Amino acid sequence: MSQKGKNGNSQKILVTVLALAAVAGIIVSLLAVKNAEAEGYAPGAYATVWSLLPPVVAITLAFITKEVYSSLFMGIVVGAFLYAGGNAEFALKTMLFHEEGGLIAGLTDTSHASILVFVTLLGTLVVLMNRSGGAAAFGRWAAKRIKTRVGAQLATILMGILIFVDDGFNCMTVGSVMRPITDSHRVSRAKLSYLIDATAAPICIIAPISCWAAAVSYSIPSEYEINGFQMFLRSIPYNFYALSTLLMVVLLSVLKFDFGKMKLHEDNAARGDLFTSGDIPYSEGTTAKTAKNGKVSYLVIPVATLIVTSILFMAYTGGAFSGTPFWRSFEEADSASALVMGSLVTVLITMWLYLSQGVVTFKEFMESFAAGFRSMCAPMIILILSWNLSGMTGLLGAADFVHGVVESSASAVQIFIPLIIFLFSVFLAFSTGTSWGTFTILIPIVCAIFPIDSEMLILSVSACLAGSVCGDHCSPISDTTIMSSAGAQCNHMNHVATQLPYAMTAAGVSAAGYLIAGLICYFSGNALAVLALPATLALMAGLLIVLRRILPSRS
């Protein structure tokens, strides 16, 4: 694009931002509250539809401008002004220092800080594996065994399924290992990002031994006397979005079929352009000198160590070494702390391995920390801003607003309850960028609606979990979406734009599945509800086959 064209686009973007800011200012003035900093203060927008305006602004701008940093920041500013009732000074304090939603609070939150440290250590590990020649050696080894683009995609999917402990760990590990292989077979970075994202949260939400299983278990209110872990296990066959997405990603690879913007990226990749947009993000620190005598073990040992230590530390934080049964320890696990400990131990073992083999010098090893940090700066900035935006949304009472809407809707027509819960979960997770936050809000509402032994309860909890993952999957401000882009080293908005049509296809099929399940439960009894799963999967397969016939084939 010419410089003149770029300047023109920049002016259009600026006008759009200013227009949205003006609209937000008008809304703020209408909702303004006097004495904003008084004790017991509640903003005029609290628990109203306006509480969802900040993420809507951020997401809309992100799609318009294709630039995520300023979009997130504008969403945060709108949220802060809505909360402060038009008081600029109070808005600034809220945005930066509020104890429950400010920027500093987000950075000092233990789980958030742990994720940032984990991402930095994982970036360091990726740099080390590249410099040792391990990544190149693994690529050469895999090239002899993986002969086709289909094989490269299926290998990526398989690895994503095998790493089921944590979605962030999945994204970064699968990306760093499979990137050289998919590159060699000309799979676009956008497609790699989708493969990673489609086997991260969807597999974690149906894996009994994962931090997600623990989070779901603890979302079940204790006063209902329901075994949370048993509830999670029973929800797996009804998690239509996760299961249909896993089927979809396999069929897309096997059928050699793509549609929407993904087709453009894949067509360009087949001609040698893996990025389409021209930029090569997250590449800092990966172009340094690489050892010529690299071995496959230089990659396999660190990755295997990371997987084993992360699982062991999850068990440790859950009390497995102090009397709790190993499989139950994952219900109590602190996954963020476990990933930090596991990644640190892995980096130290990798240091011993590489230094003892003379692969890197001590100076080069220490320099890898700075290079790893630089390579992960972009996703960390996005994560920090998305946490800040989520905090602003929380301060505006978005959870209470959705709580009220779901309660009033769910009491209307029982047949449609699973579908209603699924759609609300999608909307809330998409708006806030958090699946965990979504299902922890909605599951207690669902549990209050149905009897404990009702199959409709299990179905509705599954719909909540499925919708949470779906909305998270679609959202440009989701942690998993951000880390999928980082793992594949793909432009973040390219990943969002190419993945969205696929995620929405799976969402539509899942919505139909929950409607079918609700009808079966209502007219035929609970015993036949399991028939909704094969019906949903058959619908997904049939839809992809029809789309392949009517849409243009890959060039």
> Same structural domain for residues 157 and 231?
yes
308 or 173: which carries more pLDDT confidence? 308
Mean pLDDT of the chain: 80
Residue 396 forms part of a structural domain? yes
Tokens describing residue 202: 């969807």
Residue 140 to residue 92: CA distance in whole angstroms: 53
Of 23-27, 141-145, 201-205, least confident by mean pLDDT is 23-27
Asked if residue 326 is part of any domain, the answer here is no
362-375 vs 377-395: helix axis angle to the nearest 10? 40
Please name the residue that has the structure tokens 């095998």: 162
| 259 and 173 together in one domain | yes
Question: Could you tell me if residue 497 is inside a domain?
Answer: yes
Res. 33: pLDDT tops 60: no
- State the pLDDT confidence band at 285, using cuts at 50, 70 and 90: very low
Q: For residues 137 and 244, which has the higher predicted lDDT (pLDDT)?
A: 244
Query: Domain range for residue 269?
Result: 135-275+377-555
In a domain, 296, yes or no: no
Averaged pLDDT, 13-25? 58
Q: How many domains does the chain have?
A: 2
Q: 100 and 161: one domain?
A: no
Residue 90: its H or E element: helix 88-97
Other C-beta atoms lying within 10 Å of the C-beta of residue 526: 14
The predicted pLDDT at position 17 comes to 59
Residues 456 and 525 in one domain: yes
388 and 451 part of one domain: yes
Mean pLDDT, range 177-202, rounded to an integer? 91
Same domain flag for 46 and 175: no
Question: Could you tell me if residue 494 is inside a domain?
Answer: yes
Domain closes at, from 69, 89, 106:
106
pLDDT in tens, 139-188: 778 778 888 999 999 999 998 888 776 677 678 778 878 888 899 899 99
Whether residue 210 is found in the same domain as residue 256: yes
Q: Which residue has the tokens 């991260």?
A: 200
Is 322 a domain residue? no
Shared-domain flag, residues 83 and 159: no
The C-alpha atoms of residue 5 and residue 171 are separated, in whole angstroms, by: 35
Same domain? 36 vs 82: yes
Say whether both 35 and 173 belong to one domain: no
Of 106, 121, 150, the last residue of a domain is 106
Q: pLDDT tens across 389-431, in order? A: 878 887 888 767 766 766 665 555 667 888 988 998 898 888 7
- Among the candidates 87, 106, 125, a domain finishes at 106
Residue 300 domain-assigned?
Answer: no
349 falls within a domain: no
Are both 173 and 88 inside the same structural domain?
A: no
Question: Global pTM?
Answer: 0.71
Q: Which residues, including other chains, have CB under 8 Å from residue 532's CB and lie 6 or more apart? A: 238, 240, 513, 514, 516, 517, 520
Instruction: Indicate the pLDDT class of residue 36, thresholds 50, 70 and 90.
Output: very low
* Same domain? 69 vs 203: no
